[in-house]
Chain A
């Protein structure tokens, strides 16, 4: 089997996000970037399938973005992925989910993947659209937000479990297919030192616009039909109000404030 895993490099969850001066982007200065946590589940699932099948299955990781995405590709290689592709070109910058999926489709198509895996969403822009759009471009069946994945014995289909309102849904898909990972799909492994040293020797293939059958007007900001017009900060948290008195007085005052000021009871 050929498994392709899509990776995104996102700001560390503990980073303090600042809106850039133009109001429509994030100030990347001083930000630390990590592998999108949902993508870690996708990588782990790909590796587990490979380990279970014990055949010539390979796991190829693909990441799009500036040079810093090479770090998450290296991490995935150190976890055990076989090959890595960096999709990077200044022309790709500022693309919306659809434009990015259009690019990724042209990168993934020639890889002839049996299974395409990704995280259920990027934790930075939270649009949760790129993988779904990619499946459409590639004309693949898709199961999104999956917490359990089983490959059939004949390797021709998969069964994906999804949590839906009130229960679980089991979806069977013939391969090739696309699946996005939800938390709980697995417990991602740490990179090992032998893995890190092996990853060091692997070359990361770079793909630019010139390598793809696309025109500049189809990619990046130029190829996007939606654009962010404004980011807003959340309003500052109001000051904490301390309630004095003994427990009885405090409870009484708290109830009064919740009813009269916060109007929640």
Chain B
């Protein structure tokens, strides 16, 4: 992969401030890259075709520490932070977006909010096993009737003594079939739309926790996406994150972080499209010369590479801000918006460069083309990202 220069990028300019990837950041990136190329890449196409969840790979990644990147050392993780996480996520997603999203959700959407809002008891109960991948995890916010309108959720949690009783259905739950633990948003107060939502930590073994239909998707076919159904599921109040009524705040804050991960995923997919396109442009001949000699191809590659570089720095910047504890909602939304659109542009151009071959499953860009699409949709559609950005700009109107 010596052609890929981004591994050598060591400085990020922000005004006059520069920072360099540290030794351990580069080592984490390099380890993720080696694991991705040696272990994940050889099986990614097969997993995609068979719709097989890469359980063994995820467990291996867990043992290597890639599932505990946001968990403090005191709870068995390494707390290396979001910048390290996006470095690793880009590498994993470059070869398999299904593996990538599983790792992203586990770190950003489940481990991070438990670290942030979990009681000491909840942290001790779950984090050490989440950090090693002994427990896999899911995040359940969307419902059949509420996606972008997240606060419109209707899954109900009714207080009964020291317990709550949950009933409802969650949709599009990543890793839902394999997850041992899930953070589930449910309505505890019907009279208030946002402040009536509470975050629960549920376990798959709880009575009334039903793994429903597995979705048959366009892309990310090796990641499992299912419905979760709760039928009179009884859970003690001690399983609440951050207190009753905090669910929506937790959900939005958590998604700010998750978006950075999905943006990194999009950069990884885009980079894969560029790598494959460069290889093809150098090898494929037409009119007695490599097609890379034609400007029509060169311009596509140049635009692709430029946009990927820009997207990557947006992602690094959002991650850096989050790690520094600074506001990052706008930057995360910008990174997600731009990177996901970049991934789809890159995938479309990559297929075009490959011509008919790009339409076949024999070439990796066919999979990247299908995988890229979801990055504009999940963890906030592009429309929602624009809304988030605009709200940050028009502060006086809100």
* One of B10-18, B60-68, B140-148, B333-341 contacting the partner: B60-68
Residue from B26, B27, B78 in contact with A194 in the complex, judged by beta carbons closer than 8 Å: B78
**Cross-chain contact A196 with B31 (CB below 8 angstroms):** yes
A31 to B2, CA, bound (A): 8
For B28, the chain A residues whose CB sits under 8 A away are: 193, 196
**Cross-chain contact B23 with A16 (CB below 8 angstroms):** no
For B34, the chain A residues whose CB sits under 8 A away are: 190
CB distance from A173 to the nearest CB of B (A): 33
Closest to B79 in A: A197
**Cross-chain contact B78 with A200 (CB below 8 angstroms):** no
Contacts A32-B7, A74-B23, A74-B27; is A194 near B2 (CB within 8 Å)? no
CB distance from B1 to the nearest CB of A (A): 6
A36 within 8 A of B: no
**Cross-chain contact A196 with B2 (CB below 8 angstroms):** no
For A199, the chain B residues whose CB sits under 8 A away are: 24, 27
Contacts A193-B65, A200-B23; is A32 near B78 (CB within 8 Å)? no
B179 within 8 A of A: no
A31 to B7, CA, bound (A): 12
For B2, the chain A residues whose CB sits under 8 A away are: 12, 14-16, 31-32
Q: Which of B74-124 contact A (CB under 8 A)?
A: 78, 80
Total number of B residues with any Cβ neighbor in A under 8 Å: 23
A212 within 8 A of B: no
A14 to B2, CA, bound (A): 6
Contacts A15-B2, A16-B2; is A190 near B31 (CB within 8 Å)? yes
CB distance from A209 to the nearest CB of B (A): 25
For A74, the chain B residues whose CB sits under 8 A away are: 23, 27
A68 to B23, CA, bound (A): 11
A98 within 8 A of B: no
Q: Which of B159-192 contact A (CB under 8 A)?
A: none
Residue from B7, B26, B64 in contact with A193 in the complex, judged by beta carbons closer than 8 Å: B64
A121 within 8 A of B: no
Closest to B35 in A: A190
For A75, the chain B residues whose CB sits under 8 A away are: 27, 30
Closest to B31 in A: A191
A192 within 8 A of B: yes
CB distance from B92 to the nearest CB of A (A): 13
**Cross-chain contact B24 with A200 (CB below 8 angstroms):** yes
Q: Which of A1-36 contact B (CB under 8 A)?
A: 12, 14-16, 31-32
A74 to B28, CA, bound (A): 11
Contacts A32-B7, A190-B34; is A196 near B1 (CB within 8 Å)? no
Residue from A14, A15, A31, A197 in contact with B80 in the complex, judged by beta carbons closer than 8 Å: A197
A15 to B1, CA, bound (A): 8
Interface string of A213-242 (1 = CB under 8 A from B): 000000000000000000000000000000
For B68, the chain A residues whose CB sits under 8 A away are: 193
For A197, the chain B residues whose CB sits under 8 A away are: 24, 73, 78, 80
Q: Which of A68-103 contact B (CB under 8 A)?
A: 70-71, 74-75, 78
For A195, the chain B residues whose CB sits under 8 A away are: 65
Interface range on chain A (Cβ under 8 Å from partner): 20 to 34
Contacts A74-B23, A74-B27; is A193 near B1 (CB within 8 Å)? no
Contacts A15-B2, A74-B27; is A193 near B80 (CB within 8 Å)? yes
Report which residue of B63, B68, B69, B78 has the largest number of chain A beta carbons within 10 angstroms of its beta carbon: B78
Contacts A16-B2, A197-B80; is A78 near B8 (CB within 8 Å)? no
Q: Which of A170-207 contact B (CB under 8 A)?
A: 190-197, 199-200
Closest to B34 in A: A190
A53 to B34, CA, bound (A): 29
Contacts A78-B27, A193-B66, A196-B28; is A32 near B8 (CB within 8 Å)? yes
CB distance from B284 to the nearest CB of A (A): 14
A195 to B64, CA, bound (A): 9
Closest to A32 in B: B2
Closest to B39 in A: A190
Closest to A197 in B: B78
Q: Which of B41-68 contact A (CB under 8 A)?
A: 63-66, 68
A65 to B125, CA, bound (A): 48
For A31, the chain B residues whose CB sits under 8 A away are: 2
**Cross-chain contact A14 with B1 (CB below 8 angstroms):** yes
CB distance from B128 to the nearest CB of A (A): 13
Closest to A195 in B: B65
Report which residue of A12, A16, A191, A200 has the largest number of chain B beta carbons within 10 angstroms of its beta carbon: A191
A193 to B76, CA, bound (A): 11
CB distance from B221 to the nearest CB of A (A): 26
For A191, the chain B residues whose CB sits under 8 A away are: 27, 31, 64
For A32, the chain B residues whose CB sits under 8 A away are: 2, 7-8
**Cross-chain contact A196 with B8 (CB below 8 angstroms):** no
CB distance from B61 to the nearest CB of A (A): 10
Closest to A79 in B: B31
A70 to B23, CA, bound (A): 10
A85 to B280, CA, bound (A): 43
A14 to B4, CA, bound (A): 11
A12 to B37, CA, bound (A): 14
**Cross-chain contact B63 with A192 (CB below 8 angstroms):** yes
CB distance from A43 to the nearest CB of B (A): 14
For A194, the chain B residues whose CB sits under 8 A away are: 65, 78
**Cross-chain contact A190 with B64 (CB below 8 angstroms):** yes
A191 to B28, CA, bound (A): 8
Closest 8 pairs between A and B when the two form their complex, measured CB to CB: A193-B65, A193-B78, A200-B24, A192-B64, A191-B31, A15-B2, A14-B2, A196-B27
Name 6 A/B residue pairs within 8 A (Cβ), A-sorted.
Answer: A31-B2, A32-B7, A75-B27, A193-B68, A197-B80, A200-B24
> Apart from A32-B2, A190-B31, what 11 extra A-B contacts exist at CB < 8 Å?
A32-B7, A70-B23, A74-B23, A190-B35, A191-B31, A191-B64, A192-B64, A193-B68, A196-B78, A197-B78, A197-B80
